[in-house]
Structures are given as structure tokens and as C-alpha cells.
Amino acid sequence: MAGILSLNNLALGSVHYEAATLVYKNHVLWTSSADLEDENSADRKAVDRMIYLSDRVFKLGGETDEAYRYEMGRISRVSSN
């Protein structure tokens, strides 16, 4: 993905952070806890997909372990902002 869009790792991390923010706003912010705990809920699936795809992109993108932890940490902290 990064190669197709000509994104370096820093830009890719920023794009993923923005995407995580949108997923949070659209699928978590106004969703009940019960729906988020339900693995069959569409909102829960959207959040799970975001985390899975971010994990794959950062692991396959040649990130160092430190950069990987930083980027995944940014994504996980979206809900605390």
C-alpha cells in the first residue's frame, strides 16, 4: 500500500492514525459497550479490522520494533483522546 501511494513510513503512520480516528468516531464513540463486546456486531468488526490491518501494514512495512510499538500505541490511544 505504501509503495503504491508513495508514502514513507512516517506518512503511513500518520494516515493510519487519521483512519483510526475516523473508525473511532464512526464505530466506537456512539456505540454501546454491549455492541462493542459482541464479536458479531458490525461496529466491533470495523474496529477489529482496523487493528488487524494496521498490525499487518506496520509489520510488513519494515518498521523497527520501536516504531511498530509507537505506531500501534498511537492507534490504541485514539479512544483516550
| pTM of the entire predicted model | 0.77
Model confidence over 1-36: pLDDT tens digits? 555 667 788 888 888 899 999 999 999 988 999 998
> Which H helix or E strand runs over 40?
none
CB 24 within 8 A of CB 43: no
Nine-digit cell at 78? 485514539
* Domain, as residue range, for 47: 2-80
pLDDT above 70 coverage of the chain, percent:
90
Residue 9 pLDDT:
80
Q: In total, how many domains does the chain have?
A: 1
